[in-house]
Amino acid sequence: MAMGKLFLNEETFRDGQQSLWANRMTTEAMIPAAPMIDNAGFDSVNIMSGSAFESCVLYLRENPWDRLRLLCQLMPKTDIQILIRGRSAFGWKRFPNDAIELLITCLMRTGIQGLAVFDGLNDVQNLKWHIEVAKKIGLQIHPALVYTLSPVHTDEYYSEKARQLKALGTTSVNLADASGLLTPERVKTLIPAILDAIGDQMFSFVSHCPAGMGVENYCEALKLGVRNISTTSLPLSYGMSLPSTTEMVHHAREMGIEVGVDDDLRKRIDDYFYWVAYKEKKPIGQPVGFYKELWEKYSAHQIPGGMMSHLASQLKGLGLEHRLPDVLVEAGRVRQELGYPVMVTPFSQMVGV
C-alpha cells in the first residue's frame, strides 16, 4: 500500500559539489545537466550558497549572477532555491536590513522561487527579517535548524526553535545535519519532537554521510513519516556529502512510498557527473561504514562537509595535506574552548582558521 509521495530536493549543484569538490564545479559543467535535472521529476533544486558565490569569483573567475540566471532559464519546471547564511548573507560580517532586503530582491529577480536560510547560532531573531522580506516579495522561505551535539542542544531545544519558526509563517521548517553527526537513535526522538511542535507545517530533513549514518538517518525519518529529503547524484554523494538519489529512491520504493523521479534521466544524470569527475580529475564520493571510534573522533571537531573539502584543498595547496588529522584534533580543542558552537558557517571557518 502506498504511503504518500516522497519530495526530493536535488543538491548536486550546491551541497554535493561543495562537500566533495570544494565548490570547483564550473558553470560550463552544470549546463548540460540542468535540463536533465529539470525534466527528471525533482520537486526542487538548490543551486548555490554563499561559499559558491565566493568560489566563483576567487577560483573559477566566473560571474555567479550569470550562473544563477542561466540555471534558472534552463530549469523552468522545477522550484529553484538558493542558500544564504543569516545576517552575514554571502559575506563574513553582519549586514543591515536594507542590504539583506536588496540581496534577496536581486536573487528573486534571477528567477529563483525559494530561499533557504540558516543562522549559525540557531537564533530565530537573526532570520526574522529574511522571512519577512521573502514573504513580502513572494518567495518560498525555508529556514533550517542546524543539528549539533552538546549538552545544550536537546530535543526540547530544537522543538522550541521549530515552534518559533512556524509562528513566523515560514513555508517549511528544515532540520540540517550539516556535520553528519546525527544517529538513527537520536532521529527516533528528535524528529517526532519537532513534528509535534510544528503540526501540519511542511518539514524537510538533510543529513550527511561522513560518519556513515546518512542513509540510515533518512530511512528512519521515512519510517517516522518524513516525506521531504535532500539528495545528490551518485558521483557527488556519500563521504562528506549527502546520500544519493539512486539509493534513497530504492529504499523509499521498498517502503511503499511513491517517488516521481524518472529512472532513465536519473541514471543519465549520474553517468554525466561520472564523466565530469573523470574529465576534471575530481574525487568520487564513497560510502563510509559506521565505526564508533571514527564517529567519536568526528564528533569532537564536527567540521562539516563543505568546510572539510575546502580545508583539505587548502592544505594540499600548501603541501601539508598529510597534517589534516593533526588539524582536526586541534579543531576539536578550539571548538571546546569556544564553548561548543554549531559547526556551520561562520563558526566552522573560525574554528578551522
| CATH number, position 326 | 1.10.472.90
Q: Is the pLDDT of residue 217 over 60?
A: yes
- Residues 19 and 64 grouped into a single domain: yes
- Residues 207 and 311 grouped into a single domain: no
- Residues 37 and 104 grouped into a single domain: yes
Out of 218, 249, 280, a domain closes at 280
91 DSSP 8-state letter:
S
- Residues 65 and 150 grouped into a single domain: yes
The answer to whether residue 289 sits within a structural domain is: no
CB 258 within 8 A of CB 222: no
Give whole-number Cα distances, 274 to 139, 146, 235, 268, 284, in Å: 34, 30, 6, 10, 8
Hey, what's the torsion of the CAs at 260, 264, 270, 273, to 10 degrees?
Answer: -110
- Residues 76 and 199 grouped into a single domain: yes
Q: Is the pLDDT of residue 253 over 80?
A: yes
pTM of the full structure: 0.89
The answer to whether residue 176 sits within a structural domain is: yes
Can you point out the beta strands (E) in the chain? 5-10, 44-46, 79-85, 114-118, 140-146, 172-177, 202-207, 228-231, 258-259
The answer to whether residue 201 sits within a structural domain is: yes
The gap between the terminal CA atoms of the chain, to the nearest Å, is 52
- 89 backbone dihedrals φ, ψ, rounded to 5°: 55, -110
For residue 78, what are the domain limits? Answer: 5-280
The answer to whether residue 294 sits within a structural domain is: no
- Residues 176 and 215 grouped into a single domain: yes
Question: Is residue 199 exposed (0-12), middle (13-18) or buried (19+ Cβ within 10 Å)?
Answer: exposed
- Residues 139 and 174 grouped into a single domain: yes
The answer to whether residue 189 sits within a structural domain is: yes
Q: Is the pLDDT of residue 16 over 80?
A: yes
Percentage with pLDDT > 90 across the chain: 72
- Residues 262 and 151 grouped into a single domain: yes
- Residues 201 and 340 grouped into a single domain: no
The answer to whether residue 119 sits within a structural domain is: yes
| pLDDT digits 0-9 by tens, 82-131 | 999 888 888 778 899 999 999 999 999 999 999 999 998 899 999 999 99
CB 79 within 8 A of CB 47: no
The answer to whether residue 286 sits within a structural domain is: no
- 25 backbone dihedrals φ, ψ, rounded to 5°: -75, 130
Half-sphere exposure of 127 (CA within 13 A, CB side): 29
Q: Is the pLDDT of residue 1 over 60?
A: no
Residue 71, domain CATH: 3.20.20.70
CB 116 within 8 A of CB 81: yes
The Cα 279–Cα 286 span in angstroms is: 18
Spell 310-323 as b/e; 16+ CB within 10 A means b.
bbbeeeeeeeeeee
Q: Is the pLDDT of residue 198 over 50?
A: yes
- Residues 276 and 344 grouped into a single domain: no
The answer to whether residue 287 sits within a structural domain is: no
13 DSSP 8-state letter:
I
- Residues 18 and 142 grouped into a single domain: yes
228 or 179, greater pLDDT: 228
What is the tally of structural domains in the chain? 2
State the pLDDT at residue 288: 85
Q: Is the pLDDT of residue 315 over 90?
A: no
> Beta-carbon neighbour count of residue 128 at 10 Å?
14
